[in-house]
Amino acid sequence: MDERRQARDALSRRTLLTAGVGSAAALTLSTPLAARLGLTLETTWKKDDTAALAAALRTTTGCTLVAWEHELIPDILSHLGSIDPPPPAAWPGDRFDLVWCLSPADAGAWRFTQVPQLLLAGDLLATA
């Protein structure tokens, strides 16, 4: 529980980034979360403006949460540069219980992990 509290506290000092124009799903999901956590909801980007979002992510510091349409998340990551281990080429279409986490590594590279939410019955421990 302490890890969840730390994550929530880190997010409470940050902004939630989501697609604005053209992405009703991302806004529908992220607006209540932003309100609950007291985050500023930034909707600067169109849903297919993944290169610009990646450029913004490269300049952020601290914890940043991105809520985006699943099928476009691999494209966002493709614009970030070196990621180790490499993320999957596509989001698993039947999975809505995963969080993809990126942490800064050396020389502008990123470390990738997948975290299963394990909140509901049926959530899978395996990430693949």
Boundaries of every domain in the chain? 2-116
Report pLDDT for 21: 59
DSSP-assigned states of every residue in 40-108:
EEEEEE-TT-HHHHHHHHHH--S--EEE--GGGHHHHHHTS--EESPPPSS--TT--SEEEEEEE-GGG
Rounded CA gap, 31 and 41, in Å?
7
Rounded CA gap, 31 and 115, in Å?
22
Rounded CA gap, 95 and 82, in Å?
25
- 2-116 fold: Rossmann fold (3.40.50)
Report pLDDT for 16: 66
**pTM, to two decimals:** 0.76
For 28-50, write each residue's pLDDT tens digit.
878 888 888 888 888 888 889 99
The letter for the amino acid at 78 is: S
